[in-house]
Amino acid sequence: MGVTVDDGHFSGKQAALDEIEERGLHARDGYMDSGDLENVHWHITSLVIYVLDGSFETRDVASASMLMAHAGDRITIPAGTLHAARCPDPATYVVGFESEDAMHNFRPEDPNSLPAS
């Protein structure tokens, strides 16, 4: 399973925080300026991104698709999914992490280090 976008999934930051808590995730605010597509990478843990404003574009390498998310949309990136992202417009969002450790030690991983599945 690759990157997914659920359109119009929530309304506002409190609704996003409530869902993050209900799912047992750990929340961290995020901001990305507009710019070029990031280098392809992956993460050890999954991420759930709740776009508060702006737009967030994610390239899912496995499906060769580009997914667009706007305010109120939820982006899910499973662990070990090769992807890249950019924001055509500056975006603010809240990220739900699987653990407090993942929240504090979040980083992109080199695509060449992705374990074979």
Query: CATH number, domain at 65?
Result: 2.60.120.10
Beta strands 47-60 and 83-97: pairing type?
antiparallel
Q: Which domain holds residue 31?
A: 4-113
pLDDT at 116: 79
From the CA atom positions of the chain, what is the Rg in Å? 13
Average pLDDT over residues 58-77: 96
pTM (2 d.p.): 0.93
In this predicted structure, the answer to whether residue 117 has a pLDDT above a threshold of 70 is no
pLDDT at position 22 over 90:
yes
Spatial separation of the C-alpha atoms in residues 21 and 88, rounded to whole Å? 29
44-58, 78-92, 102-116, range with the lowest pLDDT: 102-116
* Domains identified in the chain, total number: 1
CA gap 18, 24 in Å, rounded? 10
The overall average pLDDT reported for the chain is 94
* 67 pLDDT above the threshold of 80: yes
Contacting residues for 57 by C-beta, under 8 A, at least 6 apart: 37, 66, 67, 68, 69, 85, 86, 87, 88
